[in-house]
Structure 1
């Protein structure tokens, strides 16, 4: 694993980014635990101004589901919260278009002297053309930047 948290192994990947947020853990956790709040901080919410969103299942926490469909860049997919504790939230992430893929997201929350340390992780495996594409255009660099943008927006939402 390199200093940025990237562990290459065939088509398997793991991307990790961390940020310290000057807000109580409960406030930061709540912004991730409720998909309705993702529009305030997710780096992908601005990709398509006409993005269609759907919410189902629980209002927040385990069983909450979020679906989206938009332009080619936004694509179509869904997420479901599988686990929600004060220390972490695990999410099943599924893309349907433009390429089918399934990954796991995890947001970790730890007390920090200035508030909360958030660790955002994505794990998965790329196959077929998707694996080839990400070998040519490293996923760590591209998605890592987006995670950093999302964590900065999460910081602004939690501290604001």
Structure 2
């Protein structure tokens, strides 16, 4: 019996060590991005992204908690606009601030998560003209602390966040191609 317990303990220790080693091999930074061509000029898409009041029209995160508390402040849109949220376990809590706003090409947002995990990232929307369309790219990137690396051993962050970005881009497309 003691031998079986010792073998079990060794197997558990080796498994735990393997998970920790795998976590250490993950990159120190992460980046998730998705792009979609929208048949509209950047000027038609940009206002939906640069004004946090409009995010309820297209963001996939807005419908996950109907009781979510939102606080929108700073500038009405563009650089200096702020948005804070506090919701259920599906949306957590955090805040955003638009740091850079160029209606023809880019919007950069400081994105801080408070719950369920602390995180300090950057979100970007870029708009690249392509004939009668605009290639819209939604990206998020930032540091990957050890806890994030450990989670990445079990969870595909790109797939999890990427599907939300894809849904948001499709919503932006529907709104601007009407």
Q: TM exceeds 0.5?
A: yes
1:9 deviates by 5.4
| Cα displacement (A) at 1:144 | 0.8
Q: Is 1:147 the equivalent of 2:176?
A: no
Where do 5+ consecutive residues of structure 2 fail to align? 1-24
Give the TM-score normalised by structure 1: 0.90
Deviations 1:90-147 (A, max 9, x none): 0000000111001101100111223211011111122233331123101011111111
Per-residue CA deviation, residues 45-99 of structure 1 (Å, 9 max, x unaligned), is 1111111111110000000000111101111001000000121000000000111
Q: Which residue of 2 aligns with 1:121?
A: 139
- Tell me the distance in 2 between the aligned counterparts of 1:16 and 1:29: 17
Within the candidate set 32, 47, 53, 2:70 is matched to 53
Match of 2:116 among 86, 94, 98: 98
Ranges of 4+ aligned residues in structure 1 off by more than 2 Å: 128-131
Counterpart Cα distance in 2 of 1:91 and 1:77: 13
Correspondence for 1:13: 30
Aligned pair count reads 153
Larger radius of gyration: 2
* d(CA) in 1 for partners of 2:153, 2:107: 29
Question: What is the CA–CA distance in structure 2 between the aligned matches of 1:125 and 1:11, rounded to whole Å?
Answer: 6
**Please, what TM-score do these two structures have when normalized by structure 2?**
0.82
3-state DSSP class of the match of 1:50? coil
- The root-mean-square deviation of aligned C-alpha atoms, in Å, is 1.4
Query: Unpaired runs of 5+ in structure 1?
Result: 1-7
- Whole-Å Cα distance in 1 between the matches of residues 68 and 176 of structure 2? 24
Higher helix share: 2
SS of 2:78 mapped into structure 1:
coil
Q: Which residue of 2 aligns with 1:77?
A: 94
What does residue 5 of structure 1 align with? Answer: none
What is the aligned partner in structure 1 of residue 18 from structure 2? none
Query: CA offset at residue 11 of structure 1?
Result: 3.5
Per the alignment, in what secondary structure is the counterpart of residue 16 of structure 1?
Answer: strand
The Cα of 1:44 is off from its aligned counterpart by: 0.6
